[in-house]
Amino acid sequence: MYNAKSLKAEEFISDEEIRETLEYADANKDNLELIDKIIEKAKLRKGLNHREASVLLACENEERLAEVYDLAKQIKQDYYGNRIVLFAPLYLSNYCVNGCVYCPYHAKNKHIARKKLTQEEIIKEVTALQDMGHKRLAIEAGEDPVNNPIEYILECIDTIYSIKHKNGAIRRVNVNIAATTVENYRKLKEKGIGTYILFQETYNKKSYEQLHPTGPKHDYAYHTEAMDRAMEGGIDDVGLGVLFGLEMYRYEFAGILMHAEHLEAVHGVGPHTISVPRVKRADDIDPNDFDNGISDDIFAKICALIRVSVPYTGMIISTRESQKVREMVLPLGVSQISGGSRTSVGGYAEPEAEEDNSAQFDVSDQRSLDEVVGWLIKLGYIPSFCTACYREGRTGDRFMALCKNMQILNCCHPNALMTLKEYLEDYASEETKKLGIEMIDRELEKIPNPKVKQTAYEHIHDIAEGKRDFRF
């Protein structure tokens, strides 16, 4: 029985409800009267439920879809402005006891090089990441209670936060590790993590069990209920995601929105972010083995519909996507991207030899962080290295309130400009620096509150003089 407030996976992600939703969407995909009503509701910027959003996903009317895309662009502009937050993944260990059939870390893969960073190696990796200009990391690890116990992850977080190299610092560590206990989530929270990210991979229980045949990740309920445990452990910023390609995208789309509705219903706050990874080629993995790959157009449609359905949830696109695809979806509501990423364990300090492959997947966007920053500026986006919200305690519903009140221009926008200025001073190439300084001059003028504008001007000046780490 479907119940968004239930704490049981099979009740808040009800297979029956998803199937009925898909039938309803099919039955109404040409019902323009209903579609217009749903679009009108979306224009109120309070989001759509999984049924309404699924009708729009099924709709193929070009005129109506153009309206949805325009609305997605408008919502992005209103709530997020033209900022794009940058981060990098840091792979700590690829030891894994699970049998996920799409992932090269699966336990039976005997030819991938298994690696686990020592604390000395982490210092090297983080120093290399700081020298690129990164301030925000997402740490990644396989699931292995012997090789990567929670104590190891906690120690790594301490090490990462402790490294202050030149003007560099990692100011926010997001964590993408396997589902764990309330007690462990509490320990992660105490270490000062940002978002806890866990991809559902697929919301379809039957497929989930087939795709995760062995290991602790096989347990669908334990995995699906992880965000509730994370919130019980005090983590109020959680990041959802499905791995597109594994199951029918329409099923996943309804599932992820139901998950968001569930978090809102139970904890009073929806997901902080949604990621939209697609299955990629990797050691021992051929994406063509999975039947449900989606075209770039469908991918863009999903991004636009996530934006209008959950306007206050950030959306993340990784370097699994090419420059071309990223360019297509950026205006549709993306708020965070990774840049200069390496998906191998230890790949930042020393690029890995080919025969030594420890990578999780092939990276499509292989540009350096400086190239990504320059590209964003040329497209009119402000590359942001901001980590202010969580350091100011604006997490969970307090962050949502900022977003809902559209205070972005007086807060996130100047923070983005100040962190961009730091990047330009410390790490940028001459060309990027020139483009960035012109952008900052233009963008400072847009700050509506005169006091905030004046303070931002002063801080930008102070950064040029060598001071660092200002925030609103």
Residues that bind ligand SAM (CB under 6 A): 102-103, 140, 142-143, 176-178, 198-199, 201, 217, 243, 277, 279-280, 282, 285, 320, 360-361
Query: Rounded distance, CA 418 to CA 404, Å?
Result: 23
What are the φ and ψ backbone dihedral angles of 312, each rounded to 5 degrees? -95, 5
What are the φ and ψ backbone dihedral angles of 259, each rounded to 5 degrees? -65, -45
| CB contact burial 232-267 (16+ within 10 A = b; e otherwise) | ebebbbbbbbbbbbbbbbbbbbbbbbbbbbbbbebb
What are the φ and ψ backbone dihedral angles of 329, each rounded to 5 degrees? -95, -15
The two tokens of residue 22 are 């898909």
Q: Which is nearer to ligand SAM, 126 or 138 (CB)?
A: 138
Query: Rounded distance, CA 123 to CA 137, Å?
Result: 14
Residue 183 CB, shortest distance to ligand SAM, in Å, is 18
* Contact present, 169 and 220 (Cβ < 8 Å): no
Residue 351 CB, shortest distance to ligand SAM, in Å, is 20
> How big is the CA angle at 181 (ends 178 and 186), to the nearest 5 degrees?
105
| CB contact burial 7-45 (16+ within 10 A = b; e otherwise) | eebbebbbeebbeebbebbeebbeeeebbeebbeebeeb
Residue 147 CB, shortest distance to ligand SAM, in Å, is 12
* Contact present, 218 and 205 (Cβ < 8 Å): no
> How big is the CA angle at 336 (ends 87 and 439), to the nearest 5 degrees?
90
Residue 429 CB, shortest distance to ligand SAM, in Å, is 30
Q: Which is nearer to ligand SAM, 121 or 131 (CB)?
A: 121
Q: Which is nearer to ligand SAM, 79 or 361 (CB)?
A: 361
The two tokens of residue 103 are 């992932």
Residue 361 CB, shortest distance to ligand SAM, in Å, is 4
**Closest-CA residue to 43 (of 74, 2, 14, 20):** 74
Q: Which is nearer to ligand SAM, 142 or 311 (CB)?
A: 142
Residue 397 CB, shortest distance to ligand SAM, in Å, is 25
Residue 190 CB, shortest distance to ligand SAM, in Å, is 21
Query: Rounded distance, CA 195 to CA 273, Å?
Result: 8
Query: Rounded distance, CA 57 to CA 304, Å?
Result: 10
Q: Which residue type sits at 63?
A: E
Q: Which is nearer to ligand SAM, 32 or 101 (CB)?
A: 101
Query: Rounded distance, CA 31 to CA 94, Å?
Result: 49
Q: Which is nearer to ligand SAM, 208 or 381 (CB)?
A: 208
Query: Rounded distance, CA 383 to CA 203, Å?
Result: 33
Task: Name 382's bridge partners.
Answer: 83
Q: Which is nearer to ligand SAM, 61 or 323 (CB)?
A: 323
Q: Which is nearer to ligand SAM, 308 or 334 (CB)?
A: 334
Residue 82 CB, shortest distance to ligand SAM, in Å, is 28
The two tokens of residue 276 are 């939209």
Q: Which is nearer to ligand SAM, 324 or 378 (CB)?
A: 324
Residue 226 CB, shortest distance to ligand SAM, in Å, is 9
Residue 315 CB, shortest distance to ligand SAM, in Å, is 16
Q: Which is nearer to ligand SAM, 320 or 326 (CB)?
A: 320
The two tokens of residue 327 are 């360019």
Q: Which residue type sits at 136?
A: R
